[in-house]
Each structure stands twice: as C-alpha cells, then as structure tokens.
C-alpha cells in the first residue's frame, strides 16, 4: 500500500544463525534444519487443501474507532475440475479506503507473508537467532528471531519472531511484518498470525490480526486488519498426492495426536 501495505538447500553445518546464549541445552542449528524440512512438507500439504480466506481492513482514528474507510474480501481457495488451484471471490464490496491505497505488495503480504512459511529452500535468505523457550497457550515452543540478509527488488520477506512447537517442530505463531524494497511512501503494519493443527498432523494458519499506526509523510494512519482462514478440507482429486511419512498399510492405524 501507499499509505499502507498489508501486510536452496541448507549448506551443511553452515546455517545463518546468530550467536545465542544457549542456556536450555538445545541445538538451534538442528532445530532449524528439522523445522524447515517440516515446513516444506506443510507447504506442499497446504497446497492440496481448499479453504476460505476472509479479510477485513479498517481505517481507525487515534482512539481506535472506525472512521468509515474499509476493505473487505472473502475468497475460496479451490480446485477446478481439472485439478488446477484457483481463488474464487465470494464477497468483495466496493472498497472505500480514504487514507490508504492497496498495492501489489499488500496483496502479496496477505497471501504469502502473513501466513508465513519458512522452508529449507528459504533458510539461506535469512539471519536466524535462537531466543529461547516459551509457552504459547500451554504449548512448549522454541522462539527465533528472523530477518532477511538482504532484499531483492520485487521480492517480499518476513521480519520478526516465530514460535516453533517443540514436539511437532512446526511454526505455531508469527509476529512481525512484511518487508522489502519500498516503492514510494509504503508502510507495512506489524501483524500476529496463529496456527492450529488440522487433520492431526500439520499446523495451518487460522487467524491473523494487525492493529498498528503507519507513519506516512503526510501523517499517521491507524489501521486494524483481521484475516481468518477457515474450513480446511483436503482436496481429493483424480491424482493421488503423497507427502510426509510413508504409511505401511499393513501396520495398525495410529490415531492423530491431540493438542
């Protein structure tokens, strides 16, 4: 936005990890290697799910009350009969934002940065620092600071913190903002994204929230943004898609782990 923006492989023993005081006896490099591989699995898995994505962005006054400027968008992520993934707009009233303009960077952040995934192929793009252990809604996590090493024109990155489940080794919470080489007076809000476990295996983004004041050259603008990701359903197409661990059909079924 001008005014606002909404928001390959690891080298052996050479992860971009900043020094940390490792008082809890963990190996950050090993954790990063494992969770990045799990995140790659998760990205492939999510690409085989349908879901609904609902966005509401409001302009606020300094006290946090809506001023009337608003952008709403509801899309279903679905597949065509031929199995091609597509976005179907379900609800899109006329946008009436008054103080900010949505740019392609905003839309990129909405689709790719706010539901942030950090895979093995992307690890070399970032400096990652281990911050320690923390509980997130009673879930034990490893916390990392993530920042791009350098920025390439036309590409968006995440900058902030991630919380990685200490059992499933997947991201369960993200806090930060989308960054990149700006075009004009673009500003980007800080956001927080939470994930929940779907189908007993992968942690899917379900909720993103931002409430931030963006400081433009012509003055500050406060915004509030909420994104919901709902109704995840695995796509059962004509082609069988395999990912994750290989299952031995002869072995007894194992119930999904509950959180």
Mean pLDDT of the chain: 86
pLDDT tens, 46-96?
A: 999 999 999 999 999 999 999 999 999 999 999 998 889 999 999 999 999
The whole-model pTM stands at 0.81
Sign, CA torsion 240/167/30/118: positive
How many CB atoms lie under 10 A from the CB of residue 167? 10
Paired tokens of 65:
């009350």
The class (CATH top level) of 47-234 is: mainly beta
pLDDT at 23: 54
Contacts of 112 (CB under 8 A, 6+ apart): 156
């Amino acid at each position: 936005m001008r005014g606002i923006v909404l928001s390959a492989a690891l080298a052996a023993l050479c992860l971009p990890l900043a020094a940390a005081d490792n008082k809890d006896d963990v190996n950050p490099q090993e954790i990063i290697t494992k969770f990045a591989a799990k995140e790659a699995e998760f990205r492939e898995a999510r690409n085989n799910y349908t879901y609904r994505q609902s966005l509401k962005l409001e302009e606020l006054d300094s006290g946090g009350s809506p001023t009337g400027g608003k952008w709403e968008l509801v899309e279903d992520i679905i597949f065509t009969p031929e199995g091609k993934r597509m976005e179907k707009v379900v609800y899109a009233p006329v946008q009436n934002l008054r103080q900010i303009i949505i740019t392609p960077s905003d839309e990129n952040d909405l689709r790719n940065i706010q539901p942030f995934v950090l895979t093995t192929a992307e690890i070399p793009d970032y400096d990652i620092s281990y911050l320690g252990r923390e509980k997130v809604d009673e879930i034990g996590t490893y916390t990392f600071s993530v920042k791009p090493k350098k920025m390439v024109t036309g590409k968006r990155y995440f900058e902030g913190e991630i919380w990685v489940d200490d059992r499933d080794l997947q991201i369960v919470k993200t806090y930060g903002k989308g960054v990149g080489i700006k075009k004009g007076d673009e500003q980007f809000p800080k956001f927080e994204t939470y994930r929940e476990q779907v189908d007993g295996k992968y942690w899917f983004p379900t909720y993103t929230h931002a409430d931030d004041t963006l400081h433009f050259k012509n003055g500050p603008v406060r915004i509030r943004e909420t994104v919901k990701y709902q109704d995840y359903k695995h796509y059962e197409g004509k082609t069988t898609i395999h990912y994750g661990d290989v299952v031995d059909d002869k072995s007894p079924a194992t119930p999904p782990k509950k959180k």
